[in-house]
Amino acid sequence: MIATKRTESVEALRFSLNGQEIGVLTHYSGGKNIFVFSPDYAALAQTERQTFTMTQLANKQYLSKPLISSQRLTPVLSNLLPEGALRDWMARSLKVHVDNEFPLMAHMGKNLPGALQAELIPAGNVPKWALDHREQVEAVQVDVEHSQNKFSLAGVQMKFSSVKSKDGRFNIGQDDNSDSWIIKTPSTVHKFVPYNEYTAMRLAEVVGVDIPEIKLVKMTDLDNLPDIQLPNEIHAYAIKRFDRQKGQRVHTEDLAQVFQVYSHDKYKKHNYEQIANAMYQFGSQGLKNVQQMARRLLVNILLANGDAHLKNWSLIYQDGTKPILSPAYDIVSTISYVEGEQEFALNMAKNKNWYQAEMASFEAWAKRIGVPWQAIKVHLEETLELARTHWLQMLTELPMDELHQQTLKTHWQNLHQNFRIDYA
């Protein structure tokens, strides 16, 4: 007697990078998600194949196996989706659970970070190779239920994609790749976050941190802003999308995707040595990337930014195949919002405490990566010299709240003497 298979309905999305098919994500009614790489994509020579994730550069078998998960998508896809308030808002609008990630992906698949896009596959058109990995289940193809729209972008604040028009206004929800920006609205929990982040990013820029174009935008200059609760503050923070260049999408991925870590573990399991080591081994311009990373780590110490977790470090694939460190983003002086905070987001040279960090910490970090210490030291010394020369005057001109400025100056006095910035 031949046993009959149980049946489950299945929805599917096709993923592509700038027109090159990467694979198919199937979602079964029982909650199973299976991402299968396209056989044609896997068979391409590496020089002809756009890179989906740095993991495939480190693991040559990565493309040969399906990525299987339940409810949440596999981390390399899950980390493309929003966190926090924006995720809750989207889930409520779709009437789905916040951890049921396939509907969220179907909803926003045309405006994911980077160059990756997901399109709906109509019932009957799912390729056989995408359905061969559930031997005990007979798949009944159905149309994807949730339509797509343009609200997206990962992050814990309310962030929206937008396009800047010629008159200087920003159209929320649009993304035609010509002049694309991320708008971060003021927080209902913390005061003056746009001013804090704008100031921190400007301070980082002057000491050699690579940042995108940034602006403070009047809330009255935002068109089509959704009806969400907002505080009575004048400005939002705008940062130009570095994954949109010259009318084209450019592929990016954050380090949580690289290390296959879910967003709730973005403060755990990995450290700053592992981030640098991955770039040094498998990225393009490895030493240059590590030098820029060292500069940013020092800036995070100086600015008391405790939020430089795995999702706040990203790679960008300018040539489509080999990654480099992306421009910096989400640099905030978090000590103004977290009373008593004194730690990095991740370990560096077996230490998480800002006030215990010194030049020797960076030397140990460099040695653990295997990069020449002198090649790192010169960048740290330049960063310190520029900060000590410019930051005090800049603070008088930048819009950071006065109480936040004073908290930052007190922080400088508590740092190790190697990094102290005098303001008396």
**Is the pLDDT assigned to residue 135 strictly greater than 90?**
no
Residue range 203-214: average pLDDT? 98
Task: Show me where the domains of the chain are located.
Answer: 6-141, 159-414
Return the pLDDT at 354.
95
What pLDDT is attached to residue 4? 64
Comparing 43-52, 170-179, 234-243, 267-276, which segment has the lowest mean pLDDT? 170-179
- Residue 146 banded pLDDT, cuts 50, 70, 90: low
For residues 217-242, give the mean pLDDT.
Answer: 91
Predicted confidence (pLDDT) per residue in 374-413, tens digit:
999 999 999 999 999 999 999 999 999 999 999 999 999 9
Going by pLDDT thresholds of 50, 70 and 90, the confidence category of residue 225 is confident
* Mean pLDDT of the region 48-71: 95
Indicate the pLDDT class of residue 344, thresholds 50, 70 and 90.
very high
What's the pTM?
0.91
Q: Above pLDDT 70, what percent of the chain?
A: 93
Average model confidence (pLDDT) for the chain? 91
Look at residue 8 in the predicted model and tell me its pLDDT: 84
pLDDT at 173 (0 to 100): 79
- Specify whether the CB–CB gap between 147 and 15 falls below 8 A: no
- In this model, does residue 69 exceed pLDDT 70? yes
What does the block give as tokens for 203? 């301070």
E strand or H helix that includes residue 118: strand 116-120
Q: If you ran DSSP here, which 8-state letter would residue 250 be given?
A: -
262: pLDDT strictly greater than 90 = yes
Q: Residue 284 — very low, low, confident or very high, per pLDDT cuts 50/70/90?
A: very high
pLDDT the model gives residue 43: 96
How far is the C-alpha of 119 from the C-alpha of 107, rounded, in Å? 10
pLDDT band at 150 (very low <50, low <70, confident <90, very high): very low
pLDDT at 25 over 60: yes
Among candidate residues 175, 243, 254, 307, the one labeled active-site is: 307
Distance between CA atoms of 328 and 135, rounded to whole angstroms? 45
Tally of CA atoms within 13 A in the half-sphere of 208 that contains its CB? 21
Q: What is the mean pLDDT of residues 332-347?
A: 93
pLDDT (0 to 100) of residue 334: 96
Residue 254 is a catalytic residue:
no
Check whether 230 has a pLDDT greater than 90.
no
- Asked if 86 and 105 count as a contact pair (C-beta separation under 8 A), the reply is no
For residues 90-108, average pLDDT: 89
What is residue 1's predicted lDDT score, i.e. its pLDDT?
43
Which residue, among 241, 275, 243, has the nearest Cα to 257 in the 3D structure? 275
Ranking 64-78, 147-161, 202-216, 250-264 by mean pLDDT, the lowest is 147-161
Three-state DSSP class for residue 381: helix
Alpha-carbon torsion (188, 192, 197, 200), positive or negative: negative
Q: Is 60 exceeded by the pLDDT of residue 3?
A: no
φ/ψ of 176, rounded to 5, equals -95, 10
- Across 265-290, average pLDDT: 94
Q: 377-392: string of b/e by CB count within 10 Å (b at 16+)?
A: eebbeebbeebbeebe
pLDDT band at residue 152, thresholds of 50, 70 and 90? very low
What is the pLDDT averaged over residues 36-64?
95
104 CB-contact burial (10 Å; exposed 0-12 / middle 13-18 / buried 19+): buried
Quickly count: other Cβ atoms within 10 Å of residue 418's Cβ.
15
